[in-house]
């Protein structure tokens, strides 16, 4: 690389991370966690670099990434919407809420809008059954919902 060319700060952070963990055993999970903190998800190029530096086959790394729900292989939205489909929410119309969120954003469960504004995830129970049906946007709980409230709620998040 030419000396006047500026390195990507994320790439630099990844290199520093790999230098730190290179000779440590059992480093894969902490390296993946910290790589995800750097990028917001685990880009394929970063995984290839981890594979080279830690000398772990890429297939093994993918296996770990797909096993643990905490790892994401594609970019995630700035706002994460968790739609509860647990029993209490289901009984009180959770499926209709879920349908409306997907319809408003034009994406399905687990997907992210193209502008990276939202990611939708269905969840089993978020521990607010008394407020069913419930969604969470980031750390905010929105309960006792009707589908028609969804557009106004989404409008609160940039």
Can you tell me the distance from the alpha carbon of 39 to that of 92, in angstroms, rounded to the nearest whole number?
38
84 binds ligand FES per the rule CB under 6 A: yes
Q: Which of 64, 80, 95, 129 binds ligand FES (CB under 6 A)?
A: 129
Segment contacting ligand FES by CB under 6 A, of 18-26, 64-72, 73-81, 123-131: 123-131
Residue 24 or 138: the one with the smaller Cβ distance to ligand FES is 138
Q: Is 4 annotated as a binding residue?
A: no
Beta bridge partners of 1: none
Angle of helix 44-54 versus helix 58-67 axis, rounded to 10: 120
How many angstroms from the chain centroid is the CA of residue 63? 17
- Residue given tokens 């034009």 in the structure block: 106
Asked if 137 touches ligand FES (CB under 6 A), the answer is no
Burial per residue of 108-119, b for 16 or more beta-carbon CB atoms within 10 angstroms, e otherwise: eeebbeeeeebb
95 binds ligand FES (CB under 6 A): no
* Interface with ligand FES, residue 97, by CB under 6 A: no
Annotated binding site for [2Fe-2S] cluster: 84, 89, 125, 129
């Amino acid at each position: 690389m030419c000396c006047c060319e500026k390195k990507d700060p994320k790439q630099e952070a990844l290199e520093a991370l790999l230098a730190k963990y290179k000779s440590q055993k059992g480093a894969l999970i902490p390296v993946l966690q910290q790589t995800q903190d750097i990028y917001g998800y685990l880009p394929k190029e970063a995984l290839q670099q981890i594979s080279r530096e830690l000398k772990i086959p890429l297939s093994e790394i993918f296996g770990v990434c797909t096993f643990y729900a905490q790892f994401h292989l594609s970019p995630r939205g700035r706002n994460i919407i968790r739609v509860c489909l647990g029993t209490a929410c289901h009984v009180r119309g959770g499926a209709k809420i879920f349908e409306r969120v997907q319809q408003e954003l034009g994406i399905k469960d687990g997907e992210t809008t193209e502008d990276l504004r939202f990611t939708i995830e269905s969840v089993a129970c978020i521990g607010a059954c008394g407020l069913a049906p419930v969604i969470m946007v980031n750390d905010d709980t929105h309960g006792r919902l009707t589908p028609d409230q969804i557009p106004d709620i989404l409008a609160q998040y940039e």
